[in-house]
Amino acid sequence: MLTNAKKEFIEFMMSADVLRFGQFTTKSGRLSPYFVNTGNYRTGEQISKLGEFYAACIKETLGDNFDAMFGPAYKGIPLVTSAAGALAREYGINKPYFFNRKEAKDHGEGGSLVGYQPKDGDRVIIIEDVITAGTAVRETVPVLKAAADVGISDMFISVNRCEVGKTPGKTAVMEVKDDFGITVHAIVTAKDIHEYLQGKEEYADVLKLMEQYMEQYCVF
């Protein structure tokens, strides 16, 4: 159901040119009529507001029932930073956060992780932008497991594209749950975006393309 909060988030993404309509090749090689690029958030106000949307989703889902927040390089870095700040500011939930370097540093403090150093038994949540094929998760889990014997229970993303992954009939989100035991929570889904566009006459053509795309690649 398209709630006011979801509608507000969709409009926020559109105003920041993060949610775009046209013709885009996704990471999985599919030709998509819409694209979500969180790299287009460019101002302090935007990243602050984005953090608040993530924080609200985390608070509603988990409360403070986790130990640390991880943002995979590169797009996850500003996301986890902003979400951690918003959780502390808006809800008084003060949790450590950390992220990884793509290449390990061989001087100074060394290593591939920056910020909090996870400990055995920690319950870590992942903050990411979108999941299309689940590739990023498959890269992230070994990084975390190599650092400590952590539990990775939940992952928070901006948009669940609801697209089939490597297994017929299963979305990438379903596969992440099956393969790693991680529950993915999205602020909005492809279905929410579709429902939002239904009320906008100027997006009639996009809506048609989106419906064709969803029919071919999405699982609900």
Q: Tally the C-alpha atoms within 13 A of residue 12's C-alpha that lie toward its C-beta.
A: 24
Closest residue by Cα to residue 79 from 136, 162, 150: 136
CATH of the domain at 43: 3.40.50.2020
Label residue 220 by pLDDT band (50, 70, 90): confident
Q: What is the 8-class DSSP label of residue 75? A: T
Amino acid at 23: Q
Distance CA 109, CA 112 (A): 10
Within the chain, residue ranges assigned H as helices are 4-15, 44-62, 76-91, 135-147, 172-180, 190-198, 204-217
| Cβ neighbours around 132 below 10 Å, total | 21
Known catalytic residue: 105? yes
Across the chain, what does the average pLDDT equal?
92
Instruction: Check 105, 145, 200, 208 and give the catalytic one.
Output: 105
pLDDT at 184 over 50: yes
Write out the residue range of the structural domain in which residue 159 sits. 4-104+112-217
| Whole-number Cα distances in Å, 72 to 32, 120, 129, 172 | 24, 19, 10, 17
Q: Closest by alpha carbon to 58, among 2, 13, 97? A: 97
Q: What is the mean pLDDT of residues 15-42?
A: 91
Q: Would the pLDDT of 189 be above 70?
A: yes
- pLDDT tens digits for range 72-119: 988 899 999 999 999 999 999 999 999 998 765 554 444 689 999 999
Active site residue 102: no
* Confidence at residue 104, expressed as pLDDT on a 0 to 100 scale: 59
What is residue 73's three-state secondary structure? coil
- 108-111 own/partner pairs: CB under 8 Å, 24+ apart: none
Given the residues 7, 49, 75, 107, the one annotated as active site: 107
Q: What is the mean pLDDT of residues 38-59?
A: 96
Residue partners of 47: CB distance under 8 A and separation at least 6? 41, 78, 82
121: Cβ contacts below 8 Å, ≥ 6 apart? 149, 150, 151
Domains: count for the chain: 1
Structure tokens at 151: 């539990």
pLDDT at 106: 53
| Tens digit of each residue's pLDDT (9 = 90 or more) over 49-69 | 999 999 999 999 999 999 999
